[in-house]
Amino acid sequence: MDRDRSHRAWYWLLLVPLVGLLVPPIYNHADPELFGLPFFYWYQLAWVPISVAVTALVYRKTREPEE
């Protein structure tokens, strides 16, 4: 069973959203605004698509063949 092992390096990418979101000093300010939203809000919301992209990439690279 080397199914997980051969792709294991890809899983490290999953740490990227954690770094982007768990260090508030990166985003804990009001400027620049976007569509009237302070940076604090749109920055964190922007991580939804980024995190999806990262997870989707990991999924594709580690996908097991469908039976």
Partner 1 sequence: MNGDVHELQLAIVIALFLLVSGLGFAASRWRKAESLENLDEWGLGGRKFGGWITWFLLGGDIYTAYTFVAVPALVFGLGAIGFFAVPYTIIVYPLVLLAAIRMWSVAYRHGFVTPADFVRGRHGSSALALAIALTGIVATMPYIALQLVGIEAVVKTIGVSGDLPIILAFAVLAAYTYSSGLRAPALIAFVKDTLIYIVVIVAVIVIPIQLGGFDDIFAAAGEKFSTDEVPNDGLVLTDAATVGYSSLAFGSALALFLYPHTMTGVLAARSRNTIKRNMVALPAYTLMLGLLALLGYMAIAAGVAPIGEDPNTIVPVLFDDQFPDWFAGIAFGAIVIGALVPAAIMAIAAANLFSRNIYKEYLNRDATPEQEARVARITSIGVKAGALLVVLSLDPQFSIDLQLIGGVIILQTLPALLLGLWHTFAHRWALLAGWAAGLLAGLLMVYDTPNVATGKEHFGGAQYALSNFGFDTEVTLYTGIIALSVNLIIVVVGSFVLRAMGAPAGEDVTRSEDFEVEAGDPNVRPLPGTPGQEEAATT
Nearest distance, CB of residue 9 and partner 1, angstroms: 13
State the residues that interact with partner 1 by CB under 8 A. Answer: 1, 3-4, 11, 14-18, 21-25, 28-30, 35-38, 40-41, 44-45, 47-48, 51-52, 54-56, 58-59, 62-64, 66-67
What secondary structure does DSSP assign to 16-50, as a single string? HHHHHHS-GGGT-S--S-BTTB-HHHHHHHHHHHH
Rounded to the nearest whole angstrom, what is the least distance from the CB of residue 39 to partner 1 in the complex?
A: 8
Question: Residue 62 is encoded by which pair of tokens?
Answer: 């580690």
